Amino acid sequence: MPTVLDDINAGVREDMEARKRLVSLAELKDRAQAAPPAHDAWAVLGGPSASRDELKVIAEIKRRSPSKGDLAAIGDPASLARQYADGGASVISVLTEQRRFNGSLADLDAVRAAVDTPLLRKDFTLDEYQIWEARAHGADLILLIVAALSDAQLAEFSALSHELGMNVLVETHTEEEIERAIAAEARIIGVNVRNLKTLDVDRSVFASLAGKIPAGALVVAESGVRDVDDVRHYAASGANAVLVGEALVSHSTPRDRIAEFKAAGAAAIAARA
């Protein structure tokens, strides 16, 4: 029986094939190679030149989700991105999947023109075309979901992303997927506490899974952030960064919300030291 992920991926493939008929891979490659160099999201999130004493926030521009439906209209993604940047977001995530999340590459273009903050193209990467597409539209970081890819694809897509100067957020949901991410030499590993079959969130699984990730990698907590208590929980359990969408787009002052999350996370990290 097809899972939610299977259904999403089927739509992603259909939409990608339509884009391929409009823009060839060769044309995308030309655009990507002409684009300004990518920002180093690894360094910003906690690589050698950045402190791991503070919790980084990956702030997401997200109009809707399969689990919650419509979240926010977001008529001006560039304005929201500027608020995120002003609030101290280390990375801005832009959802570009159309059918379930109401995102687009036009959103990515608008955000790229508005801020210098590293950008994550948040989508379901299933083909090298999407990687070249991400770089051509100014992304600095892409998402690879272990559950959606083979080991060969993980290795191939990671290598291509790095060749193009981008970093990769490798998303996991289980211990076995973490092992696969480690085998693929992932440096930024996300632990998504949302079950891909039921869409239910279980925040309690984060601590046990985060503990399986090597110390040298960056750990990103994905899904389930409602308030500062959730941020404290993730930070205390080993997160270096949190990816937050709904709690920001539904808030009247997302800039202030990010500052609150960063302060709560830094305190929790200091307490675990």
DSSP state letter for 59? E
The catalytic position among 56, 93, 97, 122 is 122
Query: Is 56 among the residues known to form the active site?
Result: no
Q: How far apart are CA 40 and CA 164, in angstroms?
A: 11
Q: How far apart are CA 195 and CA 188, in angstroms?
A: 20
Query: Is 60 among the residues known to form the active site?
Result: yes
Residue 66 CA, chain-centre distance (Å), reads 16
The catalytic position among 54, 60, 97, 246 is 60
DSSP state letter for 67? T
The catalytic position among 56, 62, 212, 262 is 62
One-letter identity of residue 231: V
In contact, 202 and 172? CB cutoff 8 Å: no
Query: Is 167 among the residues known to form the active site?
Result: no
Query: Is 97 among the residues known to form the active site?
Result: no
Query: Is 197 among the residues known to form the active site?
Result: no
The catalytic position among 167, 222, 237, 262 is 222
The catalytic position among 93, 158, 161, 192 is 192
The catalytic position among 93, 158, 223, 237 is 223
Burial (0-12, 13-18, 19+ Cβ within 10 Å), 169: buried
Query: Is 158 among the residues known to form the active site?
Result: no
Query: Is 62 among the residues known to form the active site?
Result: yes
Q: How far apart are CA 234 and CA 214, in angstroms?
A: 17
Residues recognised as catalytic? 60, 62, 122, 171, 192, 222-223
